[in-house]
Amino acid sequence: MAIRQIRINDDPILKKTSRKVEVFDERLDILLDDMKDTLYKAEGCGLAAVQVGVLKRVVLVDVGDGLLELINPEIIEATGEQYEVEGCLSLPGKSGITKRPMCVKVKAQNREGRWCQYKGEGLKARAFCHEIDHLDGHLYTERLAPEEAINQIKLENDID
């Protein structure tokens, strides 16, 4: 187990598309274990392999209810919408309000290669979308909500 270096800011790898995992071997186990150590050290709620410089479709999500290891994940259903503040371990010190679905259903393989389904709502839905975006070279800064939506949220919060 080891902490890996998180790629940040303008590192060109963050824009690259990750490849499907075909082989479920010991190397994958090591990657997943290292990613877990790296995620917890950085105190994030998700990490994609590309963020530690590995172009494989592997992500971790932990929003406080346990660690999920998602290999070759795909969003198979998305409903509703939410506007919330989002940040990224690869863009330290920054955050922005993004538009994301409120609920998503994801299918992914586990480290043994077996397909499983997961549901996420609220923060977990955001984490799934954010991490899966990383696999296609997308950062949350491409999903920022338009100004009008942000002003509307501020207005609603003021009333409450």
Which of the residues are catalytic? Answer: 131
Give the number of residues in contact with Zn ion, rule: CB under 5 A.
Answer: 1
Q: Counting contacts by CB under 5 A, is residue 106 touching Zn ion?
A: no
Q: Counting contacts by CB under 5 A, is residue 88 touching Zn ion?
A: yes
Q: Counting contacts by CB under 5 A, is residue 60 touching Zn ion?
A: no
Residue 128 · residue 47 · CB < 8 Å = no
68-76, 88-96, 98-106, 113-121 -> range binding Zn ion (CB under 5 A):
88-96
Residue 53 · residue 72 · CB < 8 Å = no
Q: Least distance (Å) from Zn ion to the CB of residue 26?
A: 27
- Residues facing 109 on adjacent strands: 71, 115
Residue 122 · residue 80 · CB < 8 Å = no
| Residue 28 or 135 having the CB closest to Zn ion | 135
Query: What are the φ and ψ backbone dihedral angles of 102, each rounded to 5 degrees?
Result: -75, -35
DSSP string for 104-134: EEEEEE-TTS-EEEEEEETHHHHHHHHHHHH
| Residue 9 or 152 having the CB closest to Zn ion | 9
- The footprint of Zn ion (CB under 5 A) covers 88
